[in-house]
A and B are shown apart, each in its own frame.
Chain A
């Protein structure tokens, strides 16, 4: 038993020592990006970054559970609204990075800035034997009966933004479109990965509201997936990066924040098929200026979240 105890102690000890002079970084996907940023930052500054990568929901749940004694220094989420919420609760430290001047105004704030941006799109399996869709409404056609999936707005922040955005752009027609899709036997299997997976194998033909960078990355791996952004417009999901007010190491946190927005950091972001937050860095896919972006008032939409989800469930899931 003594040996066991020693081993437990040594396992734990190693980690707790390491935490004293390092940064702790909580982040939503993409997989691999956080590690790449951490490694490059450590190579440049010698500061070690401990990464916790999970879904936005898991990151937020952990932050909330730790609120009386926060552990993280820097956080990236995939939901702009979560940053606004944390700022309102006074949890964020004010910081404006010098690199932020190349980030579009609407993607910066006194307390946070976008790390990268994703957009919502149609992900279509080119081998599915269906005609290529070009518009959201195409997927309500008979040709796609029982062949469309959509991420659940209750489980995917970006799918929620899409519903809210379509409503902002189209009014009640958005709900008619969703009803038509439901009528066409569209399924809502869960979060983003659950919606894309059946389309990869060909069980379904297209995702209505796929997160674009994930689909681009899959296509890059050779999957027969094409990403189609409807010309009528789509919503973007900027990914806010923020420093917690509670950080014990603000200089290192700011250095990391700067690094993510530096040329090198943004190049790593671009590598994952996200749109870089800085407009002067080239992406691997169409940039924000190529998209017809639907403006949504995130505050107003967040306030109506329960109502919108209830209406979605009524229209699509419990139809």
Chain B
């Protein structure tokens, strides 16, 4: 093996072990040794009894799977059609739609859940506007699945649109030349070739919906519908704290996600999905023609439900003087924005902190994720499957548990130097938590790119590094950039790990909003969300427009 490749593999493996393996190892140790956090290995396995002592855990596991299944179906319904259209057709304002569909990631899930509650509950905004409420829908299993779907469907949209864009019209065109109708070409060629990307995005949806806490906590408690993650949080956030019980619950979650990962991996690797062979591709997309307005209508509908309605609820709430005052003109004012814009306010610091962290996290995850993905798909040897599995784990562990793992691992008194207690520990946790995005996206993308392109470059005399730089990286770029935008969006409002790990005195957007909701005013929390969403979506829009000006071809594969 050439030296450059060995160094790269070692570096990527080291990064994965440091960022993911270490916290996971400490969680496992905590699950086995209840006194581990206190530096003792007493009573190993004494906590395992909670697995058998009641059937609640079984019910929670069943509910978790049911919910994740429903959310996957919901995400397909909402994200698949628009994703396919965005990938294959020339959609007016395509880049703008991309930014609009990123917005759900900018909204903290618990804020979105509260917004839906304030909209649909009895005497909520809907009732105040039109005289009826939809509490009967919201506080049910379907309601919880609905709200979670709205948080997650963009994952499917982005993965599907990038995959279909890459498969492009070229293969379908070849099928058409050979006599297939457009429907047949789509069903037989384009759709099957895009399966790895769709499966990858569904894996992330599955993992995220089983570890998502905000929505079930806000809504499911009202329906008597318990999931695993709520149980884990209860063990971690109610005194007396049960670290090992929580760690044990997390182990179950990890097993569920690993099982899903195995299924996805089987789907993605049992045959070849190579569609990028280096032959000049026709970058033209299908024109919509008569379908222009119906398609725009569909995009608008999805954007209304998934983005406009929750966002409008948050904005309206942020301008309300009092909640009990209701939707009256005299009740609207700016008073809840005042504390945010006050000079030297902690809100300003929080925005800066989250901004830097989100940018660094996006670059950090893309760097590590890109290399790991390359090794997983192109590398040889047994290590690569382990690497792939390791990279999907953080999505299986509730962020709060990973955060506890990070504390246990990095605050160990034996370490001579540690990042714990500094802002850098947040970066470590963020990268660990969000690493699965670039890896899943890039792995799916690489499976579409033929390895013969690399070989051709090497035969023509390019070094491995220069092949990577000039061939593979540009081809991976669209997926990595899409993943970086996701990571940036999610990191900019990350809550749970921030609460556990932020050094005392440091605030992020997420912790600021949460503290407002818990103890201050709901409206100020919403106002801060509005400001953060405005800033982040502007940044994303600018990046997107810049990419267009760089010439779509450079990045559209």
Contact = CB atoms under 8 A, between A and B. Distances in A.
Interface of A: 1, 4, 7-9, 11-16, 18-19, 24-26, 29-32, 35, 49-58, 60-62, 64-69, 71-72, 77, 79, 81-82, 85, 125, 127, 152, 154-155, 157, 187-194, 197-198, 200-204, 214, 218, 221-225, 305, 317-318
A245 to B, nearest CB: 14
Contacts of A64: 37, 241, 243
Nearest to A33: B519
Contact of B515 (A7, A31, A67, A192): A31
A61 B218 contact: no
A58 B222 contact: no
A6 B287 CA distance: 48
A188 B221 contact: yes
A57 B238 contact: yes
B377 interface: no
B237 A193 contact: no
Contacts of A19: 421, 503
Contacts of B222: 187, 189
B405 to A, nearest CB: 9
Contacts of A67: 37-39
The 8 closest A-B pairs by CB, nearest first: A50-B505, A12-B422, A57-B237, A31-B519, A12-B424, A50-B504, A29-B519, A202-B123
Contacts of A188: 221
B423 A15 contact: yes
A36 B363 CA distance: 37
A78 B421 CA distance: 24
B397 to A, nearest CB: 14
Q: How large is the interface on B (under 10, 10 to 19, 20 to 34, 35 or more residues)?
A: 35 or more
A12 B243 contact: no
A157 B243 CA distance: 18
A154 B234 contact: yes
Contacts of A317: 224
A65 B239 CA distance: 13
Interface string B340-362: 00000010000000001000100
Contacts of B346: 35
B551 interface: no
B39 A190 contact: no
Interface string B118-135: 100111100000000001
A30 B518 CA distance: 9
A68 B38 contact: yes
A29 B518 contact: yes
Given A31-B516, A203-B135, A214-B519, 17 more contacts: A4-B363, A12-B422, A31-B520, A53-B515, A54-B511, A57-B239, A62-B407, A64-B243, A68-B413, A71-B411, A152-B221, A154-B238, A189-B221, A198-B121, A203-B121, A223-B323, A224-B322
SS class of chain B's interface: helix, strand, loop or mixed? helix
B205 interface: no
A15 B418 CA distance: 13
A224 B328 CA distance: 15
B419 interface: yes
Most B C-beta atoms less than 10 A away, residue of A82, A201, A222, A318: A201
A60 B500 CA distance: 10
B407 A52 contact: no
5 contacts: A4-B363, A7-B356, A12-B422, A31-B516, A224-B324
A172 B206 CA distance: 46
A255 B81 CA distance: 63
B26 to A, nearest CB: 10
B427 interface: yes
Interface of B: 37-39, 114, 117-118, 121-124, 135, 217-218, 221-222, 224, 234, 236-241, 243, 321-326, 346, 356, 360, 363-364, 367, 400, 404, 407-408, 411-413, 419-425, 427, 499-500, 502-506, 511, 515-522
Contact of B224 (A16, A31, A318): A318
Nearest to B425: A12
A66 B520 contact: no
Nearest to B120: A203
Contacts of A35: 346
B411 A69 contact: yes
A11 B121 contact: no
B413 A69 contact: yes
Contacts of B518: 29, 31, 55, 191-193
B330 to A, nearest CB: 12
B376 to A, nearest CB: 22
A129 to B, nearest CB: 10
Contact of B324 (A125, A194, A305): A125
Given A4-B363, A16-B421, A200-B323, A194 B218 contact: yes
Contacts of A79: 239
Contacts of A8: 360, 424, 427
A55 B516 contact: no
A197 B505 CA distance: 28
Contact of A190 (B218, B326, B420, B505): B218
A52 B421 CA distance: 11
Contacts of A7: 356, 360
Contacts of B240: 60, 82, 85, 305
B324 A60 contact: no
Given A65-B37, A65-B408, A125-B324, A30 B421 contact: no
A14 B325 CA distance: 45
A61 B404 contact: yes
A150 to B, nearest CB: 12
A15 B422 contact: yes
Contacts of A192: 518
Contacts of B123: 201-203
A65 B412 CA distance: 10
Contact of B323 (A60, A154, A201): A201
B427 A201 contact: no
B275 to A, nearest CB: 32
